[in-house]
Structure 1
């Protein structure tokens, strides 16, 4: 029998998560397989084959594959950016060296700070004559002769990844396009990224670095996507983007930088989809993996976006879901500082060798080992597929405890306490620093290690509740099945509100919408299914940074302008506690960037409510340490029905994750099968 399967597959640092949806019956199945960091395509292929075997299906049954990948992210985090060249305007060869006059944590705390190496060293920067002003008017013509010399210089030295960023090319891309023509003719093997295509907005430094990052990851992403498509013929491959949308594999190789927060974005979207169905529009999401934990905020069903992100040490000014990442995952290593204090992370044992309890040659105690030593996770993972050596975990914890003069229980609890506070600080960073009261938002905890510290986070932060979705370890993969195709377009147009040329603004929005429509047609969406979302970046005159607000549909008239400005005042007051709504004379509003997102909607899974059931039956008892050792009842998540309430101390286990329910907490199953944990 022929089936129609959509598959979401998220490659993490430790596991590759897979979710398959039968489009005809609505049946959904989840599984996991170990990641293969040396060649992520192997883990991808193994995960797809595993879920097909579970369904008794074959590859021709696959209609679509949606993939969240960390290939580009890992390359940036590990600074594997060799043989990268940069072409810029004559006289601006030191734009990367000058950068921004900013020091981490302020000068008082960074007296010995040393500026990190530039993404491209000075000796691989070349300049070309020609100059535009900020309106795009040509001051000096493009110097073809110097452009040819630059192209040949890179060719002769074998430098094949090249970024091009000319001054004010956001206003008119003509000089950059001519530079690409020269590179194609003189250096046809080069992979070229133009700033006018990667990021068409002002601020030369951020635009330069973003363009260079795109050029750096383009060869790696191209090879990776080509390997996937060659190994997985049939269903069309889509790749998750940082902005909360997906893009076909054919298109993503032309804009690989858009995938740098691919996996974490899918998790935040999956959490938003599930909690909105359960009647919770605004939540904090916490995606706990083996290597790190990713935290985001969902407001009214939509994850918050930013363009002020960084990956490693590189500012990447593209639209991305606002995510804070900390090295506090299940594989995070506990270690002693030179001062003799215990630290946890950010270094991780990863998938290989992994924690001590994996029995694969690991030598250092991890967060997972601490949970195993205290009985908070079962003596196996993935329903028995990965047996755990609990005694190895206990022996490692005892050795660490001896160095600190503590008992095993206190040392293991200390590891978990440090990890919980690391996660709590990440949550504060994404909420309090953005003007949000953390106590107003439930926590959605998912990922393999996400639910493990949920009860402790409720205590530390005063959160009202924690929601644990079904199959939390696979929520990022599920999120890939809920994501629309989405492309973002931006144009800088700096202008005072009092002198705003509405006809010109209307022309820019029309041009951006035309670009978005063209891209959606390439993705196979007919015109009647296109959706366009407008937004604008505004600031008070004299400010250095902007606030983005949604812009309404319809004609661009005075009512449109007044509504955008009103939203800006409201947003500024919400973020910073003040606005100048009543003082436009002294503090005029300035428009900076105009933006359009083109969206091609997909058919999403349907989450059905379930009938209530009876009381839960425990499936066993295990000694577990919370405040003291206790014989805690064990429950299987699959056997819990809506309406069931479990009181702590207890442990709730399932295929991809575990919830240790501390004393004084209870877990209730809601109508969609989520566990709602409260004090």
Structure 2
């Protein structure tokens, strides 16, 4: 009998991270390979082949490949949405133009703000006759004649990606389904997204934009997944933004669910590796992603924004900033030093990569100050420190600084960019950042951990084992998941338990069908939740709902959880106040198909002497040049404590330990950094 390997592959902007898990023995093999931005499928295939060589296995030993991809994310961040078409209810063609009355940073700071272009310009919007009310009752029948005219117009204009969003189709999808049949007949080359399949809940603007985002990324995502399928013969699963995975075929049907695929995997990997309540910081080459984990569960939201597009799907609550290792340092017209958000990426990359880069990056600053070794990935990527120093010298002269101060300034700005992102995800959500240890991972995540402890007053920082591959490892810790939602706005006092039971039954049926397509039978389970608000409010609060029949006890428990959650979020609630009745808005069901998770392995304690892991020393700049001892991470044992100034190196990442800090190795191999 052959081996059963499950491989996680996370494609980042600079490196592709790979982890292979032997499901029978629990053995884990990790590696990295440079990303290939021109064709990410090539880097994916290279990473899979490399980890199989290291594991001494072949393609036939692979049970599944789990992939975290940035294909959809990058198209939105770079605003490459292509020629989109939009079909909506006749008379509502301006829904995208009207949008929401929101201005970035408030009106006082946005005097010169100009409304950005719509995702679909008004001349590519077509209205179709027919009308439903909010209950799904038909007010006017579907007008097939205008539907045919719209389909033929898009065919004549050569527009293939089309989103369809009719008014109140969340209540009854029949008109949208009829529109799809017309498009299949009149415009068979069209790639179509229906709002009733993408986001079956109310709020027409958000539902329209989310549907159009799905249509925009669908051609690229489908083509990418087809190229991967042509290179690998194993079952392919794709990470979703909601913290679950789906088969490649399901992801191709609704690619909008993958827009935060990579960051979600990192947060889940950190939650699995450390547990408890923590702030996660995933530092990559292009960006840094931060999230909050409470009691081992990452926070979820349905109010996400990718680039300039609101995307209303369940996703792990992540804040992303352009503060990665490849972030470019530059001098503003006013003469100030700036860092990011633009990145040198993987090709040509930082100056020290020696691939023709021309701009100074955060990685160059680390290299010049000695905080990273003169090579990456165990010597696979040699670094040209002299080239980095020469580039920094030019920038430093323009700023009127010496090389060391310029490099230190770059790292200080990068640290504050990361700190501000952490404040947004904690203080901005009503949480005290000082209550949460920091879990720092990714290739560049641990590099500024000591400085972040000082800036934010954090109690400690945890650097998990294999931090450079934690996002890829996170892909192997998550279940198959399929989310389903239905809008049903009703006052709590008027809620009909039978109607609620029918909606939950329908949603569980949809989830069961999705999981059956994934090969799950009796081992699947369902998680209910509901969105509630006080009457008159514009936004809802999502709370978990218990199982069992939605009777009076069920209703009372959900309402109690809503009051508690509202008070925790906003500092007040209207419990037992009849002037502020509770409204139910959305009912949700998540279908979950469990997978075999890795088993945490405790390591035997050492003798408390870290000198066995010492590999040498070098001059490192921590405000001034100091002699720092260099340690090999994999030679440290539980109970060992390293005192700064020091540098702890490993294959995929580096931890510079500033003077006044120490790092202790715990029983799982994590490094715990404290003052």
Q: TM-score, normalised by structure 1?
A: 0.98
Pairwise CA distance, 1:659: 0.1
Pairwise CA distance, 1:23: 1.6
Q: Deviations over 1:132-168 (max 9, x none)?
A: 1111111111101111111111111111111000000
Say whether 1:542 aligns with 2:536: yes
Distance across 1 between alignment mates of 2:551 and 2:52: 54
Distance across 1 between alignment mates of 2:161 and 2:390: 49
Q: Deviations over 1:432-458 (max 9, x none)?
A: 111111011110000000000000000
CA contact (8 A) 2:23 2:596 kept: no
Which one of 353, 358, 368 corresponds to residue 358 of structure 1? 353
Distance across 2 between alignment mates of 1:609 and 1:261: 32
Three-state SS of the structure 1 residue aligned to 2:127 is: strand
Partner of 1:224: 224
Q: Deviations over 1:342-370 (max 9, x none)?
A: 00000001101111111111111110011
Pairwise CA distance, 1:555: 1.6
Distance across 2 between alignment mates of 1:424 and 1:625: 21
Partner of 2:190: 190
Distance across 2 between alignment mates of 1:674 and 1:397: 34
Pairwise CA distance, 1:230: 1.2
Distance across 2 between alignment mates of 1:98 and 1:553: 40
* Stretches of 4+ aligned residues off by more than 4 angstroms: none
Distance across 1 between alignment mates of 2:149 and 2:357: 53
Distance across 2 between alignment mates of 1:503 and 1:329: 52
Distance across 2 between alignment mates of 1:249 and 1:365: 38
How many residue pairs get matched?
Answer: 672
CA contact (8 A) 2:4 2:62 kept: yes
Partner of 1:61: 61
**Higher mean C-alpha deviation, range 325-334 or range 50-59:** 50-59
Pairwise CA distance, 1:627: 2.2
Distance across 2 between alignment mates of 1:351 and 1:83: 28
Q: Deviations over 1:162-192 (max 9, x none)?
A: 1000000011111111111111111111111
Structural mapping, 1:289-328, within 5 Å: 289-328=284-323
Which one of 573, 576, 579 corresponds to residue 586 of structure 1? 579
Distance across 1 between alignment mates of 2:150 and 2:399: 60
Which one of 409, 418, 433 corresponds to residue 438 of structure 1? 433
Which one of 610, 632, 645 corresponds to residue 616 of structure 1? 610
Q: Deviations over 1:461-483 (max 9, x none)?
A: 01111000111010000001111
Which one of 652, 656, 660 corresponds to residue 656 of structure 2? 660
Distance across 2 between alignment mates of 1:54 and 1:563: 52
Distance across 2 between alignment mates of 1:466 and 1:163: 45
Pairwise CA distance, 1:254: 0.4
CA RMSD of aligned residues (A): 0.8
Pairwise CA distance, 1:2: 2.7
Pairwise CA distance, 1:24: 1.8
Distance across 2 between alignment mates of 1:24 and 1:130: 57
Say whether 1:122 aligns with 2:122: yes
Partner of 1:524: 519
Partner of 2:393: 398
Distance across 2 between alignment mates of 1:297 and 1:573: 19
Pairwise CA distance, 1:22: 1.3
Structural mapping, 1:635-650, within 5 Å: 635-650=631-646
Three-state SS of the structure 2 residue aligned to 1:238 is: strand
Which one of 449, 460, 473 corresponds to residue 468 of structure 2? 473
Partner of 1:108: 108
Three-state SS of the structure 2 residue aligned to 1:397 is: helix
Partner of 2:25: 25
Partner of 1:46: 46
Q: Deviations over 1:574-621 (max 9, x none)?
A: 1111111131x1111111010010000001000111110121122100
Say whether 1:424 aligns with 2:419: yes
Three-state SS of the structure 2 residue aligned to 1:104 is: coil
Pairwise CA distance, 1:62: 0.8
Pairwise CA distance, 1:63: 0.9
Three-state SS of the structure 1 residue aligned to 2:164 is: strand
Three-state SS of the structure 2 residue aligned to 1:127 is: strand
Q: TM-score, normalised by structure 2?
A: 0.99
Structural mapping, 1:124-523, within 5 Å: 124-233=124-233, 235-276=234-275, 281-523=276-518
Which one of 625, 631, 641 corresponds to residue 627 of structure 2? 631
Partner of 2:561: 567
Pairwise CA distance, 1:554: 1.2
Distance across 2 between alignment mates of 1:376 and 1:250: 44
Q: Deviations over 1:228-250 (max 9, x none)?
A: 111101x2000000000000012
Q: Deviations over 1:244-297 (max 9, x none)?
A: 000001211101110000111000000000112xxxx11100000000000000
Distance across 2 between alignment mates of 1:398 and 1:391: 10
Partner of 1:577: 571
Structural mapping, 1:587-606, within 5 Å: 587-606=580-599
Distance across 1 between alignment mates of 2:56 and 2:526: 40
CA contact (8 A) 2:35 2:346 kept: yes
Distance across 2 between alignment mates of 1:222 and 1:592: 33
Three-state SS of the structure 1 residue aligned to 2:642 is: strand
Partner of 1:85: 85
Pairwise CA distance, 1:52: 1.0
Three-state SS of the structure 1 residue aligned to 2:180 is: helix
**Higher mean C-alpha deviation, range 166-175 or range 73-82:** 73-82
Q: Deviations over 1:491-534 (max 9, x none)?
A: 000011111111111110111011101111110011x2111000
Three-state SS of the structure 2 residue aligned to 1:464 is: coil
Distance across 2 between alignment mates of 1:332 and 1:438: 25
**Higher mean C-alpha deviation, range 402-411 or range 622-631:** 402-411
Distance across 2 between alignment mates of 1:671 and 1:81: 48
Distance across 1 between alignment mates of 2:149 and 2:397: 65
CA contact (8 A) 2:476 2:598 kept: yes
Q: Deviations over 1:621-650 (max 9, x none)?
A: 000010211110000001000010001110
Say whether 1:678 aligns with 2:663: no
Distance across 1 between alignment mates of 2:81 and 2:646: 48
Three-state SS of the structure 1 residue aligned to 2:407 is: helix
Three-state SS of the structure 2 residue aligned to 1:67 is: strand
Distance across 2 between alignment mates of 1:543 and 1:524: 41
